[in-house]
Amino acid sequence: MKLINITLISFFLLSCTSCEGPATKRNQRPVFIAIAAPLSGPLSEFGWSMLRGARMRIDEGKDQILPNNKTVKLIALDDRGKAKEAVRLAKNMSSHQSIVAVIGHLTTGCTLSAIPVYNSAKLILISPIATGDDLEGIKSPYTFRTILSESQQAISLANYMYRTVNGKNIVLIYENSPLGNQLKKSFLTRSKKIGLSVKDILAESNPFPNLYETIRKIVLSRAEAIFFAGGPCLAALTVRKWPEKIDRPLMFGTYRLISKEFTELAGKHSKGILTAHPCVWRHDFEKGREIKDRYEKKFKYPMDWLAIQSYDAVDLLLWAINKSGIDPASIRGILRGLNSKKRSRPGLAGPIYFNRNGTLARDVSVVLCTGSGWKLMEEGVVK
């Protein structure tokens, strides 16, 4: 109930800002960046991490104070991780001129459902978390994604394996799901183009009843490396059930393997896994370490990648608003100008720049699970 009240109060405050009044006071009224995330329900843990990251950035510095003493403030709205609620919130936000941009949503489904509303209202949307490939087919000049899609990760990992795996004998294990089939398609298409030898093996669907047979096929293939095309359960169960007396090939996965679900299910067997990572704290990035320390002191939570992505999204918007003002078309123009690495905006997770579709175009980080954390290996180029 408390979370619902927060949402209602936020819209009440927004309504007050649109009331008539003296021109000077009206010009000084705040504008808002809204963050839409699941703040209740089964996904609330992730939504609150997004909110903490956004709040950390908005609470820093004075760059949210614009000409005429107009300020940029943050409001949080609970979409409960449901597409219908995301659409309802998008319609409400679109009716308030004081909202200049939205950060969200956590899931691809919520984001996909809400984009047409934002686009119709010409409201800027920064999507820092959703990785689904369905978003790539949406043509919206006001939508920008600051995270790599599932397919981009698969393509990048194929490039990485081509450069680093001896013999280039790769096995792709895929689950029979929309995610598994999409990752399989992207990985195989890229592998064929660059000359990477790949054998694909179906592992059915969770709980993977044929997993032992799948592992037997991998052993017989003498693969140098495995790519997991699926969710964290497939990879975790494979490493747990791998025969102790047989050397394990290199094993690769997408962002989904940096989840708590994977590390808890895989346990000690997660050590040695290689995966794409949306952001890595670099040893030479002093600013990042300082922000991380302040965040953890302030909120008493570790600053995970969800918080980092949301922090960067707010930082990007504040920078664009300070350069262009609050007109959505002007903000869009500034963001569209970030079209190459040379013209990128620095972020905690890495440089931010976009392709023609408004999707992040930077290199992906490949990391190794050490058992106690993640170690940066190399960056693979997404082409």
Alpha carbon distance 7, 153 (integer Å): 35
Say if CB 101 and CB 34 are below 8 A apart: yes
Angle at 53 between CA 343 and CA 78, to 5 degrees: 115
Q: Contacts for 321-324 with beta carbons within 8 Å, 24 or more apart? A: 321/66, 321/72, 321/100, 321/101, 322/63, 322/66
Alpha carbon distance 83, 79 (integer Å): 8
Angle at 7 between CA 317 and CA 91, to 5 degrees: 65
- If residue 294 lies in a helix (H) or strand (E), which one and from where to where? helix 286-299
Q: 256, 202, 209, 275: which is closest to 237 by C-alpha?
A: 209
Tokens representing residue 22 in the block: 């003296």
Alpha carbon distance 110, 107 (integer Å): 5
Across the beta sheet with 197-202, what order do the strands follow?
Answer: 197-202, 169-174, 225-229, 250-253, 274-277, 364-369, 374-380
pLDDT tens per residue, the chain (383 residues)? 333 334 444 544 444 444 444 544 545 678 899 999 999 999 999 999 999 999 999 998 666 666 666 788 999 999 999 999 999 999 999 999 899 999 999 999 999 999 999 999 999 999 999 999 888 877 889 999 999 999 999 999 999 999 888 777 899 999 988 899 999 999 999 999 999 999 999 998 888 888 899 999 999 999 999 999 999 999 999 999 999 999 999 999 999 998 889 999 999 999 999 999 887 665 456 678 889 899 999 999 999 999 999 999 999 999 999 999 899 999 999 999 999 999 999 998 888 999 988 999 987 788 899 988 888 885 544 44
3-state class of 195 per DSSP? coil
pLDDT of residue 60: 87
Q: 254, 251, 281, 294: which is closest to 269 by C-alpha?
A: 251
**Side chain identity at 170, as an amino acid letter?**
I
Neighbour-count burial of 245, counting CB atoms closer than 10 A to its CB (0-12 exposed, 13-18 middle, 19+ buried): exposed
3-state class of 208 per DSSP? coil
Alpha carbon distance 206, 226 (integer Å): 18
Q: 277, 230, 222: which is closest to 250 by C-alpha?
A: 222
pLDDT of residue 58: 92
Q: Average pLDDT of the chain? A: 87
DSSP assignment of 219-252 equals HHHT-SEEEEES-HHHHHHHHHHS-TTSPPPEEE
Token pair 């699926």 in the structure block, residue: 230
Quote the strand ranges of the chain, DSSP E. Answer: 31-37, 72-78, 99-104, 124-127, 143-145, 169-174, 197-202, 225-229, 250-253, 274-277, 364-369, 374-380
Complete domains list, the chain, with CATH:
2-147+285-352 (3.40.50.2300), 151-277+365-380 (3.40.50.2300)
- In degrees and rounded to multiples of 5, residue 365 shows phi and psi of -90, 135
Say if CB 131 and CB 167 are below 8 A apart: no
Alpha carbon distance 264, 45 (integer Å): 16
Q: What is the pLDDT of residues 12-39, one digit of tens each?
A: 444 444 444 454 454 567 889 999 999 9
Which pairing describes strands 364-369 and 274-277: parallel, antiparallel, or unpaired?
antiparallel
- In degrees and rounded to multiples of 5, residue 332 shows phi and psi of -60, -40
**Chain mean position to CA 58:** 19
Tokens representing residue 24 in the block: 């000077």
